Amino acid sequence: MLYSKHITFLADKTEAEATKTYIKVNRGMIYYFWITFPPGCAGLVKFRIYHQGHPFLPVNANDYLRGDNVTFQFPSFQEIKESPEILTIEGWNEDEQYPHTVDIVFLVLPKKYIMPVGATEGIMESLSNLIIRKEGEG
């Protein structure tokens, strides 16, 4: 399922005045993101995405995404376990004069179709069972 959000951030805001936008997402894996900062954003629009109250894009709570005339494209693998769950986009625009709009698009696929994630489930546990032995075993 493809999700798309066109978010306008009002001018002259600070992180303390951040706007929050909520997106209902169905169960699956967030597989890929496309985030477009159109020309004129000049790195003044900043945002982060939360899942279940924790930042995951970017991972660190004090970091944020920003850009100008660029589309960021990257894989994710964030699991959505319940249907629906809410993603929160928290952002602000430090441009003193103009509002700016950012486009966020992401693809959610059923977990069974994501080979790198689905194929490795259980492999790490099996490997750890081979490598880690109980104390006293030889």
pLDDT, one tens digit per residue, over 36-46 is 999 999 999 99
Residue 87 sits in a domain of what CATH number?
Answer: 2.60.120.380
Residue 33: inside a domain, yes or no?
yes
Report the mean per-residue pLDDT for the chain: 87
Residue 61: inside a domain, yes or no?
yes
Residue 34: inside a domain, yes or no?
yes
Residue 20: inside a domain, yes or no?
yes
Q: Encode pLDDT of 12-27 as tens digits.
A: 999 999 999 999 999 9
- Total structural domains in the chain? 1
Q: Is the pLDDT of residue 60 over 80?
A: yes
Residue 134: C-alpha distances to residues 11, 125, 126, 128 (Å):
60, 15, 15, 11
Q: In whole angstroms, what is the distance from residue 134 CA to residue 10 CA?
A: 59
Q: Residue 76's pLDDT band (boundaries 50, 70, 90)?
A: confident
Mean pLDDT to the nearest integer, 75-84: 88
User: Sign (positive/negative) of CA torsion 120, 123, 125, 131?
Assistant: negative
CA atoms within 13 A on the CB side of 131: 6
Residue 115: inside a domain, yes or no?
no
Q: Among 92, 96, 46, which Cα is nearest to 68's?
A: 46
Q: Encode pLDDT of 88-118 as tens digits.
A: 999 999 999 999 999 999 999 988 877 555 4
Residue 45: inside a domain, yes or no?
yes
User: How many CB atoms lie under 10 A from the CB of residue 71?
Assistant: 13
Q: Is the pLDDT of residue 124 over 60?
A: no
Range of the domain at 33: 2-110
Residue 76: inside a domain, yes or no?
yes
> Which DSSP letter does residue 80 get?
E
User: How many CB atoms lie under 10 A from the CB of residue 24?
Assistant: 10
Residue 44: inside a domain, yes or no?
yes
